[in-house]
Amino acid sequence: MKEDYSSLEDRIISILKRIYDPEIPVDIYELGLIYDIQISHENEVKIVMTLTTSNCPVADSLPIKVKEEVESIEEIKKVNVVLTFDPPWKREFMSEEARLELGML
């Protein structure tokens, strides 16, 4: 049964990798904005995420976009996106791929 959750999580991650921070040409997953993805046995999803800054211009719209995109997966019953700034986002949260894309390696 764990495989089902793994593949559902992989599909969620795949969707998150199609959502971009409008100011940085890297997707929000590789950028390190997604802190946690939890999937319950009832296929309810909780995503804990942050933004690059607390006064990010997409603070209102990006969590809604994440919720709507993840809800598009048929098996998912409910999505709760929690926005946090603890810990504050740092460049170190970016994947190696993201740092390479931005010329930081």
Closest CA to 66 of 31, 100, 102, 91: 31
Tens-place pLDDT, residues 8-19 = 999 999 999 999
**3 state SS of 72:** coil
| 8 Å CB contact between 47 and 37 | yes
Tens-place pLDDT, residues 91-105 = 999 999 999 988 887
pLDDT value of residue 22: 81
pLDDT value of residue 5: 58
Distance, C-alpha 17 to centroid of its chain? 8
**3 state SS of 38:** strand
What average pLDDT does range 20-47 have in this prediction? 94
| 26: Cβ contacts below 8 Å, ≥ 6 apart | 20, 94, 98, 101, 102
pLDDT value of residue 59: 85
Domains of the chain: 2-99 (3.30.300.130)
pLDDT value of residue 55: 85
Separation between Cα atoms, residue 76 and residue 96, nearest integer Å: 30
